Amino acid sequence: MSIRAEIHKLNLIKIFDPKSVAVVGTNNVKGTVPYDILFNILKSEFTGIVFPVSPAEKSICSVKAYKYVLDIPDPVDLAIIVFPSAVCHMALEQCGQKGIKGVVIISAGFKEVGEKGLEREKQLKQIAEKYEMSIIGPNCLGIINTDPYINLNASFARKMPEEGNIGFLSQSGALCTAVLDYALAKHIGFSKFISFGNKADISEIDFMYYLMEDEKTKVILLYLEEITDGRALMKAAHEVISQSGKPVLILKAGRTEAGARAAASHTGSLAGDDEICDAAFSQAGIIRCDNIEEMFNIAIAFAWQPAPKSNKVAIITNAGGPGVLTTDAAIRDGLRLAEFSEETTREFRKSLPATANIKNPVDVIGDARADRYNIAMNGAFREDGVDGVFVILTPQSMTDIETIAKEVVKVSKQYSKPVYTSFMGESDVAVGINILLSNKIPHYILPESMCRSFSRVYRFYRDLDKDPHPQRIYTDIDTETVHEVLDEAIRNNHLYLSEDEAGKILSIYGLPVVKSQLAASPDEAALISLNIGFPVVMKIISDDIIHKSEVGGVVLNVNSVEEARNTFTSITEHVLQNKPHATIKGIQVSKMVTSGEEVILGIKKDPSFGPVIMFGLGGLYVEVFKDVSFRVAPVDEAIADSMIKQVESSKILTGIRGKAPRDIKAIRECLMRLSQLALECPQIRELDINPLIVLEENKGCYVADARILLDSPDTK
């Protein structure tokens, strides 16, 4: 942990549990941010002391105001600065002199307005560092702590949210107000509500560590617009999840950017930011959400209900159709319908109408009142094989929605198993939904959302218990030589390494590069091909030629010494006809590998997440369907396996239509070795192995072609 991070850790405690707060730059103009911030603190009945600081006012909201923060006679734990951006640095400097360690800067007019604003922001950071202060913001809505012993609403949100156990972090202030309104309507409470704006000093990573330690927080939600340091975010999320067992849900804006990328069979253009983000989040155990509704659907399940011990659920419904829909959704989301014991079945047969379906899903029939729900729920909860109960209701004329909702609340309180509900409809069921939500029973308009939320919660806890796979480090690699080759190439501004150069590097890293040698004459080509063994492939090697086939620079299936000699001459002639000024290094003679399945592997250096590894099947699967998978390095055995399995077309590798299965183990090893290369050689910007020819099971694979693009010398 860096010194600044340590300072933030200490200061954040005071920021969220202050004994006194100064609102610096407030005024008496109602309906303005400087006024509303102070007003909200007073209205929320903050348990500490508030000091308005206003150059022009004697008092605000009947509270004595000070001209400068330095005039306040008592110690101050937290300052909320609401001055115009041009003078925030002056206020911050005084806060530093006053010994205030925590500051929230609400004011806009910084990084978001351009170069001048960025300079102002840097100035704030320098002052904060000088006085060992920590800043939230600038350009944010503020912070809220619902703890009744604190009651701090230092924001310009319209209302204080309910107390709860969800910690919410947002880069967007405007989204915060929408979320607060949404949450209030659904009785969703928060432990801490944090708008961090431009994150000039304290970042989402510092907040995540803070919320990890925060006893009031059970679930962490984060809305992000930009990821500054993806690796640090992954590390923090992984630590928070594994150390505290608290789930981290992220709503990351910018999903569609990748959709516009052109299809092309190389890693650089296949790896959109969003795909990499998906992979990185999944690797770190982060639950990525697509929208606010999904985020809160899952969040309330975590926050309000116990963890399910398994994926076996019981469905209780008063309508057949919704029961079937729920069953379909449950199965689709990887859940299982529990089988009831003889005892439960007997009880249901005795107590429910003859027309009821007493197997799972239990249909208590359309005219069911609370008593039937009671019987079905108690039976399901008592059943050993049931680890979650779904209660579905549709509003018939005789359905007593309110009583049934109360029954769900009453019965579920007697058990320590999770219950999720879906009272389908809107107007009539509203009264029941309100009862459920205000009693912390998760409710979903659609049963599909209910199943999906349960599934995400179940998978989170299942994966939490998994043992981490140790990262395999290959020691049979001469890293020094590889670095010498790469650094030398960068010094000479030779950034595009051709097949033979890339092949050498991959060979050193233990990737099975097809046996090949460079021939300088027809006789040498004949000799090399004899040594390698026929058939061979012959290719032109020249820094001036990237697309070899287009200039007649590739000949496949050369089968004799004489053919090899003639091919050398014909390739040279063709190339010189097409590219008269090309400098030819020679003709590469390689073993021709046949009867393999072609896959592609690659490395891309992502500006935020660092080296990323790619896998896909060759040809159409990549070019048309973009059926590829990505993972942030390091890639261990389990990750490599998941990469291969994620690619739909990889089923071909397991042997279909009488074809023999391919050597998947060999691909896995290549992915892990490639991952080590990516991490140990940060000079590589992009690398493509296209194709890697995979032979039958236990027969290995071969790198048939590869290219490397290096960072330019001025890349930091």
Residue 225's nearest CA partner among 283, 173, 293 is 173
What is the nearest approach in angstroms of another protein to the Cβ of residue 54? 6
For another protein, the closer of residues 54 and 455 by Cβ is 54
- For residue 105, which phi and psi values (nearest 5 degrees)? -105, 110
What is the nearest approach in angstroms of another protein to the Cβ of residue 142? 18
DSSP letter assigned to residue 251: E
Binding flag, residue 137, another protein (CB under 8 A): no
Instruction: Return the residues of window 670-699 that contact another protein according to CB under 8 A.
Output: none
What is the nearest approach in angstroms of another protein to the Cβ of residue 124? 14
The long-range contacts involving 57-60, CB below 8 angstroms and separated by at least 24 positions, are 57/26, 57/27, 57/28, 60/26, 60/27, 60/28, 60/35
Q: Are strands 102-105 and 684-694 parallel, antiparallel or unpaired?
A: unpaired
What is the nearest approach in angstroms of another protein to the Cβ of residue 53? 10
Say if residues 667 and 692 touch (Cβ distance below 8 Å). Answer: yes
For another protein, the closer of residues 34 and 432 by Cβ is 34
Instruction: Give the full edge-to-edge strand order of the sheet including 20-24.
Output: 49-53, 20-24, 78-81, 102-105, 134-136
Residues in the chain: 716
Burial letters 616-643, b for 16+ CB under 10 A, else e: bbbeebbeeebbbbbbbbbbbbebbbbb
Run of H or E including 117: helix 115-131
- Per-residue x/- marks for another protein, 56-85, CB under 8 A? xx---------x---------------xx-
Region of 51-59, 158-166, 622-630, 649-657 interacting with another protein (CB under 8 A):
51-59
Binding flag, residue 134, another protein (CB under 8 A): no
Among 5, 13, 42, 87, binds another protein (CB under 8 A): 87
646 CB-near residues (< 8 Å, 6+ apart): 629
Binding flag, residue 90, another protein (CB under 8 A): yes
Binding flag, residue 86, another protein (CB under 8 A): yes
- Per-residue x/- marks for another protein, 7-46, CB under 8 A? ------------------x-x-x--x-x------------
What is the total count of residues that contact another protein (CB under 8 A)?
16
Alpha carbon 203 to its chain centroid, in Å, reads 17
What is the nearest approach in angstroms of another protein to the Cβ of residue 104? 18
For another protein, the closer of residues 114 and 334 by Cβ is 114
* Half-sphere exposure (Cβ direction) of 366: Cα atoms closer than 13 Å: 6
Region of 50-58, 215-223, 467-475, 544-552 interacting with another protein (CB under 8 A):
50-58
Binding flag, residue 173, another protein (CB under 8 A): no
Binding flag, residue 139, another protein (CB under 8 A): no
Say if residues 34 and 82 touch (Cβ distance below 8 Å). Answer: yes
- Per-residue x/- marks for another protein, 346-365, CB under 8 A? --------------------
Among 10, 45, 55, 546, binds another protein (CB under 8 A): 55
- Between CA 145 and CA 243 the distance in angstroms is 24
Say if residues 455 and 447 touch (Cβ distance below 8 Å). Answer: no
Among 41, 50, 91, 677, binds another protein (CB under 8 A): 91
Binding flag, residue 54, another protein (CB under 8 A): yes
Structure token digits, residue 654: 């397991």
Q: Which residues bind another protein (CB under 8 A)?
A: 25, 27, 29, 32, 34, 54-57, 67, 83-84, 86-87, 90-91
